[in-house]
Structure 1
Amino acid sequence: MITEQINTIIVFACAAFAAGIWQAGIYSWHSLTLIVLAVLLLLTALWRVVRNYQQAFWPIIGLFFIAGMLCANLDSIVPADAISHHIGKTVTVTGIVDAVPEISQANTHGKQVRYVVKVQNVELEKTGANSASSGKVRINVLYKENGELAVYGDKITVYGKVRELRGYNNPGQIDMTVALKREGITARMSVQEQNIKLNTAYAGYSWRAALADWQAGIVRALQKVMPVNDAAILTAVLFGGYQGINKNVVDDFAATGLIHILSVSGAHIALVAGLIRWFGNQLRLGSRTTTVVAVLAIVFYACISGFTPPVIRSMIMGIISLLAILVERESYAPAALAITALGMLVYQPLLLYDISFQLSFAATAGLVFLYKPTYDYLSAFLPAWLAGPLAVTASAQLGVLPIIAWYFNNFSLISFAANILVLPVVELVIILGLTGVIIYTVVPVIGNLVFVISSLLIGLVMMLTALLAAVPYSSVYIPSVGISGSAAYYLLLAWFYGWRPLAVPGPGQLVRQRPGTCATTVMVIIGLLAVYTWYPRPLSVHFIDVGQGDAALIITPRGKAVLVDTGGSFSSSNYDIGERVVAPYLKHYGVTTVDYLILTHGHQDHAGGAAGIAGRVSVNKVMLPREEYSQAVQALVHTKPAIAIIPTYTDQRFQLDGVDVGIEHAVGENGRNQAVTGNEVSSVVRVSYGRHSFLITGDLEAKGEEALLAAKAVKPCTVLKVGHHGSKTSTTAAFLQALDPEYAVISVGYANRFGHPHPETIRRLTDRQTVIYRTDTHGAVVFKSDGRKLEVDTYIK
């Protein structure tokens, strides 16, 4: 009973602290107010402890909630000399390279190098003022093939403009800006090779640099004795990261629920600890000696993996679990888990928003709280060898389900089979890989032999995952449920697994005592869900933040979807905006099928993501301008299965659920694709519903606007998607006068090199008192209308 009370108090305290951090992220009170509340709660708790300690529970929980808000407030304070205060200024930064540089092949002529620099000094270009500074800045440099690179510990000078950290501000996506801030990185710079200078080479010893060199040597050894893809997979399971792995293989691992294996996590740490414990039992070393050896093995594994934050968290959790077993206090596992989470959040409150932290603790909590009852239930009708793995998988999956829904909207039904058939082979690969690494360091020839055996097993793993991923309905779409939905899910899950607050009867007891009421309740819930599914919703028009590009999503009252443009990256990286940004956005809002994909024209920033989207969601029809196909459009056309292509023409229209979608302007009425591409062939799309209409103009420039005005084809609209990202050559005064929009949306990248939107365009809009929304400052912009009223919401408030 005492153990249960201790677990309850600590778990609730940790949950309250996390809730306080979350609340501070939405709206936080002044620190002085929080301190006063904390003092009052502390006095109340002490008074109740003296009178009756059981009455002190809620004041203590409230105290932890306030403490979470205070901790988040303190963490958000930016030092006066931080580099982030110089955002937007051109400066000369002097500092120390604080991490092993990340090097990738940018193109055939050079390498993209990413440095993390710990800033020491900043000199302003305009005034020449020189001052000490703090914080870290991420610097991207494009080097020529033979350019001299800085290494960890070098002192360098960098000249350029300091930029704000910026990601894609859309719901349901991993916030990489917060991830960088957790590492102390608060600004970024992109500079040319000639603007970075090595001042002083590092003369000391760096274990990080030595570890990176050692890992690189191991990778080269792997690539000599096995295929490149096999080497990349073994590198991933040993050190983490997906670099070099075939995209189809990554997709198969994701579809089978084994994607976490490709990143060093708690599963790897648990495997190493379990293996050491097994050997200890076989050799009769004793529990204390075995635990010590297991802890040392975990620390060694974390070290060779690079001591990244996720690895450190997994290491701490593994060590606490081993110590709990050693002192025979496994019953305190919930308290140990909560204390670990609490300690990490106190040290770094922003960890609350880290997907790795969320998944690690949710999965571990699922195992701690749900494994035993799940195993007891399954073992009643399944053999132990099958019940065990199934209970582990089910417990972990139940723990992380709302998180998976929020970030990925995908649940692997085949994961149960994958964990039984594939996971044991993967675990053997990890064990052999680690053994091979150790042996190779001493006897390279024998180590290479172990690597070859590992490669054969990796081939078996790829074959099995490909077969399982190909099973129909191996994964299903699951909708995002948000904070309130997640809370309801976990409360319901706890109730099913035996949590009975206020003597609430369990599900079995309810069914036995009131079968009629339960049946009626189930029918009512099913009916409400059916009504909610089929009842018409407002039209929603989303302008997605895709950086320097365009992508607009129209969702009709009954859930049909039209996508106008897809965004796309101009950079030389392999980052696919369609696959990584737009497709997740669609799934987050329940869109698994795009009824019409309309590309205004074939430029990369409008069509570059099309093929990636078609590979992630079903696309029924594609409407294309009559122009020569660009590389991006060709990639879309050649996707499998083939998609129906419809050429666009002026006055082309279709209706979905009462929403009228029409092509106001299209170039090339001769029925053939023109040999010209560019902004001049950009189609203009109008979406009308009730009193309101939205005009999406692609990259239409002044000449195209004049043609529309001359043809008297311009009608007023409620919302204008400003042409060509707000460039000076679009959105002329005459065009605006004819449209008379109430709102204008500019889809534009933060601090883009084109200078969009142009001040003159902004002036023309403001002169007409048009309300302006920009994706670089507001993130995703969403309009909702029932045909009469119109509401607007932005991701960044």
Structure 2
Amino acid sequence: MTDLRMPALALAAWAGGLSVLLPGPVTALVLLVGLLAARWRGSRALVAAVLVLGAVAAGATVREARVAHDPVAWLAAERAVVEAEAVITSDPRALRSGFTDGVVLRATVVRVAGRGVAYEVRAPVLLLADASWTGVPLGARVRLTARLSPAEERGDPLSAVAAATGEPSVVAAPGPWWRGAAAVRGSLRDSVAHRPDAQAALVPALVVGDDAALDEALADDFRVTGLTHLLAVSGTNLTLVVGFLLLAGRWCGVRGGGHYVVGAVGIVGFVLLARTEPSVVRAAAMGTVALVGMGVDGRRRGTRALGVAVVGLLLLDPSLALSPGFALSTLATGGILMLGPGLRDALARWTPRWVAEAVSVPLAAQLACTPVVAALSAQVSLVAVGTNLLVSPAVGPATVLGLVGGLVGLISDPAGRLLGTLAGWCVAWIVAVARRGAALPTAALDWGTGPVALAVLTLLVGGLALLLPRLLARAVGGVGCCLLVVVSVLVRPPTPGWPPDGWVMVACDVGQGDALVLRAGPGSAVVVDAGPDPALVDRCLDRLDVARVPLLVLTHPHADHVDGRVGVADGRVVGATETTGSASYGTTRRVGELTLQVLWPPPAAHPDNPNDASVVLLVEVRGVRLLLTGDVEPPSQAAIARAWPGLSVDVVKVPHHGSRHQDVGWLTGLGARVAVVSVGADNDYGHPSPDALDPLVGTGAEALRTDLDGDVAVTVEEGGLGVATSR
């Protein structure tokens, strides 16, 4: 029987962290489940659960108070410019805005001077810097000047976001441990540098989570097919690496307690190679749990180890209670330990044991993680179990060969490249599975991220977890389930009534971002912005049967408008791409059925705020005028009003997701009958604001929002203006 005492304590610890960082129904639900489980095991377990909850809650409270009185956080609240010294704690990564060559990296500030006072501190920050920081080594101590701003979310382990100015000044080199780890990582990259780009990027990602060179389109394919965990440091990485070291130790004659020494050295070495970031430490903990679960009496010992790991990590860092990665790691490990054996035993009744093992592990992990994945991505992958099953034979060899290639490459370049070639051949299969899986007609289903949709999905997953062992226990049930999944992914289900007849514009539901589709003709559309997620805009265009994009306009270089541009190009012919720097002010042109005029920005405009440099388009189609406003704010709105007096339209895309910062007089003076707000559900910005929408509704305009209505279509039939929504 599974020992639930430690998992119950883990739930209590989670509730303790949430009770401080995120009070509300989620906390109450987690707390109730944890206390019920503890009570079921006896009064002593209940007392222990209450004590653990209190300890984590106290730790979270202390941390909140410490951050509130942290000099760096205080200076960030003042948006002060400071002189600081910091130790670099992550590798620089390129900013993915498409319009800058900057980098982002993490650091720990150890000294800061601002507002006339200097402080000795130890404060983690996120550094935004220019390309000159690309070569700063991990572990180096640097001197910098930066403007601080507050970290966005409560419970964030960061004290501030620091925008560095100028080049870094290295005042102390990294220690020997960091230099050694950097040498191995460099050797690993060199060992596969001669391979095709996808292989050269994926091998370091598999071994140590180094995915900096990975192509965005391939990363999106991995996400759609449920293989993203291979691109990040996870418990699987550690399990494979340490498992290989333990096996090598046995070959070398290590016995008894020596295995613990080899395992400990492997864990420490893995953390150094993959970097001592919170996600790596979390992965090391979960990988250790997985190793325990692989041993004798693994299910009982594994669930106990999982509970201990969760409680320990939350006591050390209560902010993990809000970390999606921590939740996914815990759920995946717990699913494998608690659901996996039942699924394996059911399948083993009519399939070979190795087949049952191979299928049950990804199936159990996927079942456990599905609700959280849906909450994060607004989709449910239907191919994840199959793709994970197909790639599993290649993951282990690719990881081990890549690691050994990096180590051997320190001694012999040719030998390292030979092993890198073998690792590249292994990952070539993984790449092929990801690309072909993502191209299937129904690789993933769109799913709502609201409380009701997620509650329904959780109930469905729970029902499946109970029902599947019975279904899979017989060949008829197992084969029937497989056939059902195959048919589901190969046949795209119709969307009744979508797209609506006569549609001329659709605001795609891409979360907190903009992606507008203007019909230029059969199968052809102009796309204005691409949202933050390639998969979401890709699926929206698929639903509209768009095969050609003669013009892609990216209004301004913010991630929620440009990061999905790879999805626009996925399987489509894309013509010209224009941005705020290349759109010709005042010009009018025809693209198919559309007439487009650029109303902003003029060549002389050089606003400090990128939002105010947004491309603003006036579109005419079938006698209807639409104004697409990007994220322009009151200064540019007022300038547009002066430059284009008397402007009137039928449809307005409300600027900046319905932010309260609007020139209300200009906005209501447009006379729009329809106001469309492209906005994400439960966003942290308070969008859309009643201050923006109420005046529009007061003029008689119909307001539609993608967070509530899904895709929003503007239609024109027989000269009449209409709207339709996908929900």
- TM-score, with normalisation over the residues of structure 1? 0.62
Give the AA of the match of 2:568: A
**1:123 aligned partner:** 114
CA distance in 1, matches of 2:216, 2:509: 29
- Provide, for residues 445-464 of structure 1, a one-character-per-residue CA deviation record: whole Å limited to 9, x for no partner: 43332223333333444345
Give CA deviations for 1:91-114 in whole Å, capped at 9, x if unaligned.
Answer: 232223333552659999987574
Instruction: Find 1:219's aligned residue among 189, 198, 208.
Output: 189
Offset, 1:314: 2.9
Q: Which residue of 2 aligns with 1:25?
A: 21
Residue 634 of structure 1 and its aligned partner are, at CA, apart by 14
Does the alignment pair 1:359 with 2:328?
yes
- Structure 1 residue 478: Cα displacement: 4.4
Distance in 2 of aligned mates of 1:309 and 1:163: 22
* Corresponding position of 1:80: 69
How much has 1:11 moved relative to structure 2?
A: 1.8
The count of corresponding residues between Structure 1 and Structure 2 is: 625
Of 9, 34, 43, the match for 1:13: 9
CA contact (8 A) 2:658 2:677 kept: no
2:88 to 92, 98, 110: 98
Higher relative contact order (CA 8 A, sep 6+): 2
Contact 1:28–1:69 (8 Å) recurs in 2: no
Deviations, residues 402-461 of structure 1 (Å, cap 9, x unaligned): 122122244444444434443212321212222222333344443332223333333444
Compared CA separation, residues 358 and 278, structure 1 to 2 (3 A):
same
Of 165, 169, 174 in structure 2, the residue corresponding to residue 191 of structure 1 is 165
Partner of 1:89: 79
Percent identity between the two aligned chains = 18
Q: 1:396–1:770: structure 2 CA closer, same or farther, 3 Å change rule?
A: same
Counterparts of 1:265 and 1:600, CA distance in 2: 40
Aligned to 2:617: 682
Q: Aligned equivalents of 1:412 and 1:383: distance in 2?
A: 27
2:420 paired with 1:451: yes
Contact 2:293 2:299 in 1 (8 A): yes
Distance in 1 separating the partners of 2:305 and 2:544:
47
Please give the secondary structure, in 1, of the residue aligned with 2:532. Answer: helix
* 1:154 equivalent in alignment to 2:106: no
Q: 2:83, 2:113 within 8 Å by CA — same for their partners in 1?
A: yes
Residue of structure 2 equivalent to 1:503: none
**Matched-pair contact (CA < 8 Å) for 1:566–1:609:** no
- What letter corresponds to residue 648 of structure 1 in structure 2? L
Is the Cα–Cα contact under 8 Å of residues 603 and 632 in structure 1 kept in the other structure?
yes
Tell me, in whole angstroms, the C-alpha distance in 2 between the residues paired with 1:436 and 1:454: 8
Which of 572, 578, 602 does residue 631 from structure 1 map onto?
578
Measure, in 2, the Cα distance between the counterparts of 1:723 and 1:278. 56
The match for 2:128 is 140
Q: Deviations over 1:43-91 (max 9, x none)?
A: x99xx99xx9945665665555555544433332225242121234342
Instruction: State the partner residue of 2:556.
Output: 605
Structure 2 CA distance for partners of 1:720 and 1:497, relative to 1, 3 Å: closer
Q: Which runs of 5+ in 2 are unaligned?
A: 472-495, 498-505, 519-524, 583-589, 606-612, 680-688, 698-704, 713-727
* Distance apart, 1:392 and its partner CA: 1.3
Q: Which moved more, 1:263-272 or 1:273-282?
A: 273-282
Contact conserved, 1:744 with 1:770, CA < 8 A, in 2? no
Retained in 1: the 8 A contact 2:60–2:318? Answer: yes
Write the deviation string for residues 14-53 of structure 1: whole angstroms up to 9, x where unpaired.
2133134334334389xxxx9xxx9xxxxx99xx99xx99
Distance in 1, Cα, partners of 2:18 & 2:541: 28
Name the structure 1 match of 2:610: none
Structure 1 counterpart of 2:112, which letter?
Answer: N
Q: Which moved more, 1:336-345 or 1:307-316?
A: 307-316
Task: Give me the whole-angstrom Cα distance separating, in 1, the residues matched to 2:669 and 2:419.
Answer: 74
For residue 351 of structure 1, give the secondary structure of its aligned residue in structure 2. Answer: helix
> What whole-Å deviation, never above 9, does each CA across 1:327-346 have from its counterpart, x for those lacking one?
85652322221121111112
Q: Equivalents in 1 of 2:294, 2:436: separation in Å?
A: 39
Q: Secondary structure at the match of 2:150?
A: coil
Cα distance change of structure 1 residues 593 and 295 upon mapping to structure 2, 3 Å threshold: same
Preserved CA contact (<8 Å) 1:601 1:679: no
Q: Counterpart of 1:372 in structure 2: which amino acid?
A: P
CA distance in 2, matches of 1:248, 1:95: 37
Give distance in 2, aligned partners of 1:263 and 1:411.
20
Q: Counterpart of 1:164?
A: 150
Contact 1:679 1:701 in 2 (8 A): no
> How much has 1:372 moved relative to structure 2?
1.2
Which consecutive residues of structure 1, in runs of 5 or more, have no partner in the other structure? Answer: 39-43, 167-176, 500-505, 509-532, 535-539, 555-562, 568-577, 623-627, 636-643, 650-665, 669-674, 687-692, 748-761, 773-779, 787-797
Deviation (angstroms), 1:207: 2.2
Q: Is the contact made by 1:544 and 1:553 (CA closer than 8 Å) also made in structure 2?
A: no
CA-to-partner distance for each residue in 1:607-661, whole Å, 9 max, x for gaps? 7567445357999xx9xxxxx96536999xxxxxxxx965335xxxxxxxxxxxx
3-state SS of the aligned residue for 1:683? strand
Is residue 551–residue 564 contact of structure 1 (8 Å, CA) maintained in 2?
Answer: no
- 1: CA distance between counterparts of 2:466 and 2:517? 44
2:654 matched to which residue of 1? Answer: 721
Amino acid at match of 2:593: P
Match of 1:261 among 214, 226, 230: 230
Q: Is the 8 A contact 2:55 2:315 kept in 1?
A: no
Change (3 A) 1:136 1:448: same
Question: What is the CA-CA distance between 1:376 and the residue it aligns to?
Answer: 1.2
Displacement of 1:475: 1.3
Work out the CA distance in 1 between the residues paired with 2:381 and 2:163.
40
State the partner residue of 1:341: 310
The C-alpha deviation readout for 1:706-757, integer Å capped at 9, x for no partner, is 798658x578x9x9835999999x959577567599999899xxxxxxxxxx
| Cα contact 2:189–2:406 (8 A) shared by 1 | no
Structure 1 residue 381 corresponds to structure 2 residue 359: no
The structural deviation recorded for 1:374 is: 0.5
CA drift of 1:122 comes to: 1.6
Return the match for 2:594 from 641, 648, 661: 648
- Determine if contact 2:109/2:121 at 8 Å carries over to the other structure: no
AA paired with 1:580? P
Please give the alpha-carbon distance, in whole angstroms, between the structure 2 residues aligned to 1:105 and 1:358.
26
CA distance in 2, matches of 1:191, 1:434: 37
Q: Secondary structure at the match of 1:74?
A: helix
Distance 2:305 2:75 in 1: 42
Aligned to 1:656: none
Which of the numbers 532, 542, 559 marks the counterpart of 1:580? Answer: 532
Pick from 610, 614, 626: which aligns with 2:568?
A: 614
Q: Cα–Cα, structure 1 residues 401 and 230, in superposed 2: closer, same or farther, change >3 Å? A: same
**Distance in 2 (alpha carbons) for counterparts of 1:148 and 1:282:** 40
The SS at the match of 2:175 is coil
Aligned-residue offset at 1:293: 3.1
What SS does the corresponding residue of 1:682 show, helix, strand or coil? Answer: strand
- Give the letter aligned to residue 17 of structure 2: I
CA-based RMSD of the aligned residues comes to 5.8
TM-score when scaled to structure 2? 0.67
Contact 1:14 1:338 in 2 (8 A): yes
Q: Residue by residue, what CA displacement relative to the aligned partner does 1:522-572 show, whole Å, maximum 9, x if unpaired?
A: xxxxxxxxxxx99xxxxx99998868xx66799xxxxxxxx99754xxxxx
Give the Cα separation in 2 of the matches to 1:598 and 1:279: 55
